Amino acid sequence: MRKTIFKKLEAQGLIANYNRLRKNLPPRLPDRVYIWDETLREGVETPTVFLTYVEKVKLAKLLDEAGVSIITVGFPALSDEEKSTVRRIANEGFQQASIAASARATRSDVNACLDCGVKEVVIFTPFNGLNLQYRLKMSKEQVLKNTVECIEHAKRHGVTVNFALEDASRTPLPDILQIFEAAVKAGADRLVIADTVGFLRPLSLRYLVSHVRDGLQQVLGKDVTLSIHCHNDFGLATANTLAAVEEGVAYVHTCLVGFGERAGVAPLEEVVAALELLYDIDTGVDMKKLYRLAQQAEKSFALPIQFHKPIVGENAFSYEVDEHVEGMLAHPLLFEPFPPEMVERETQFYIGRTGGRRLVEKRLEMAGIKATPWQIDDIVRRIRGLQESLDKGGTQMTFYQIKKLMKELRRGLTEEDFWHIVEQVTKQKPKIPQQPLLEAKES
């Protein structure tokens, strides 16, 4: 359907599709892109979010049913509870997806993943000066040694090993090539380039990916499977993910609705829809399941989806302007980039304060009601009157009450709660701390 509907309009000379111009088709586009979802690892890093085991399993099962290729289900070394959860999910049985777990470049972290029975391990570490000096407090040689040892250890246990370079987008190219080369020689099956703070522009991302790809090909004498992990701090996660695909990257990290640390990461539904409809690339994901996935994520995370969110937001296929409504009634694709049925959505029309007559006429016609022009005018006038009588101040008050309640739900641990717990455990009365409130997460 996605191919024929647009090609038909092109063939009739009704639209132009610049995405299909030969000059606009990057030569390295892969035939297939594999969706690697991180909702249960990266997504739950959204501040104050906590998912129950049942919620995690339900999301994982839905992702599997939708056709996601790889699902990272957690970070076993985080706690005994997390390890138990990852082990139970890995044993649930999945039809299509390969189940992965994350580990720092330490043997104990890797062993925690192996104990869970996952098929894939994602070993991650940063390698630039900022992280070496202030976070790891280690030398390059130490990080290289740990990385190689952990990859070799994991490979000996027969799992697929992915090596993710954190903050790769701010790491000098020679250092990236150095640690990636070591990782491949140690047995890493895939390499993940992480734009950890969402720092790159799409053209810069393409530059980085192409130079990493070509540099590794030169030193190793073979092509290496690359993956991309893009954060959304500047709202560029989807664009950067697509830029990586244009350079041949076939494994892309996503999270449902773009949830994740800070501003989140590339939203699964945006990446899939763009690849399928704008690039005509198969992702293996059933687009009809995208909206249901987003709705389940919203429910589980207890975080509302933005109304204007692409693909899955309430307003994504909604119209109020009279001229647009009339156009949509004539031909839906006049103002829609693709039929909402592709993602199990429906077009919604609203009667605004300055229009609505054509929509009223159409609704009456569909209902088999014959009305005179005067009657239609009266119906429109009464609808507008109801809208104009709405108390805007009351609406705003209700909105801010809801917003306040959402903040309360996300408050976490207060400063008073924190120091009360400290006093109970240490039997010492604290001095007033000169620190901001401590926000606590349950996972």
pLDDT digit string, tens, across residues 181-190: 999 999 999 9
Residues 6+ apart with CB under 8 A from 205: 169, 195, 228, 230, 240, 243, 244
Q: Which tens digit of pLDDT belongs to each residue from 333-356?
A: 999 999 999 999 999 988 776 667
DSSP secondary structure string for all residues of 85-134? HHHHHHTS--SSPEEEEEEESSHHHHHHHHHTT-SEEEEEEE-SHHHIII
| Range 98-111 average pLDDT | 98
Does residue 441 surpass a pLDDT of 70? no
Quote the pLDDT of residue 3.
60
Does residue 55 surpass a pLDDT of 60? yes
Quote the pLDDT of residue 322.
75
Tokens, residue 38 = 């991180």
Residues 6+ apart with CB under 8 A from 412: 47, 48, 438, 439, 440, 441
Q: For the chain, what is the mean pLDDT? A: 92
| Burial of 62: CB neighbours in 10 Å, binned 0-12, 13-18, 19+ | middle
- Name the helix (H) or strand (E) containing 146: helix 140-156
Residue 324 identity (one-letter amino acid)? H
Quote the pLDDT of residue 353.
66
In this prediction, residue 443 has a pLDDT band, given cuts at 50, 70 and 90, of very low
| Range 113-142 average pLDDT | 98
| Burial of 319: CB neighbours in 10 Å, binned 0-12, 13-18, 19+ | buried
| Range 166-191 average pLDDT | 98
- DSSP 3-state of 319: strand
Quote the pLDDT of residue 186.
98
pTM of this prediction exceeds 0.95: no
Specify whether the CB–CB gap between 266 and 232 falls below 8 A. yes
In this prediction, residue 408 has a pLDDT band, given cuts at 50, 70 and 90, of confident
Does residue 8 surpass a pLDDT of 90? no
Q: Which tens digit of pLDDT belongs to each residue from 369-401?
A: 999 999 998 988 888 887 777 777 888 898 888
Q: What are phi and psi of 92, to 5 degrees?
A: -70, -30
Specify whether the CB–CB gap between 73 and 90 falls below 8 A. yes
Does residue 273 surpass a pLDDT of 50? yes
In 10 A of CB 115, how many CB atoms? 13
Does residue 307 surpass a pLDDT of 70? yes
HSE at residue 179, side-chain half, CA atoms within 13 A, is 31
Q: In whole angstroms, what is the distance from residue 195 CA to residue 211 CA? A: 15
Quote the pLDDT of residue 389.
73
In this prediction, residue 440 has a pLDDT band, given cuts at 50, 70 and 90, of very low
| Range 108-126 average pLDDT | 98
Does residue 431 surpass a pLDDT of 50? yes
| Range 307-317 average pLDDT | 97
Specify whether the CB–CB gap between 181 and 221 falls below 8 A. no
**95 DSSP β-pair partners:** none
| Range 299-316 average pLDDT | 96
Quote the pLDDT of residue 46.
92
Specify whether the CB–CB gap between 242 and 216 falls below 8 A. no
Residues of the chain with CATH 3.20.20.70: 19-301
> In the 8-state DSSP scheme, what is residue 137?
-
Does residue 217 surpass a pLDDT of 80? yes
HSE at residue 279, side-chain half, CA atoms within 13 A, is 27
Specify whether the CB–CB gap between 229 and 12 falls below 8 A. no
- Name the helix (H) or strand (E) containing 227: strand 226-230
Residues 6+ apart with CB under 8 A from 33: 245, 250, 251, 252, 275, 281, 282, 283
Quote the pLDDT of residue 1.
55
Tokens, residue 17 = 């599709």
Does residue 58 surpass a pLDDT of 60? yes
Quote the pLDDT of residue 433.
55
Which of 107-116, 357-366, 416-425 holds the top average pLDDT? 107-116
Pairing of strands 226-230, 251-254: parallel
Homologous superfamily (CATH) of 19-301 is Aldolase class I (3.20.20.70)
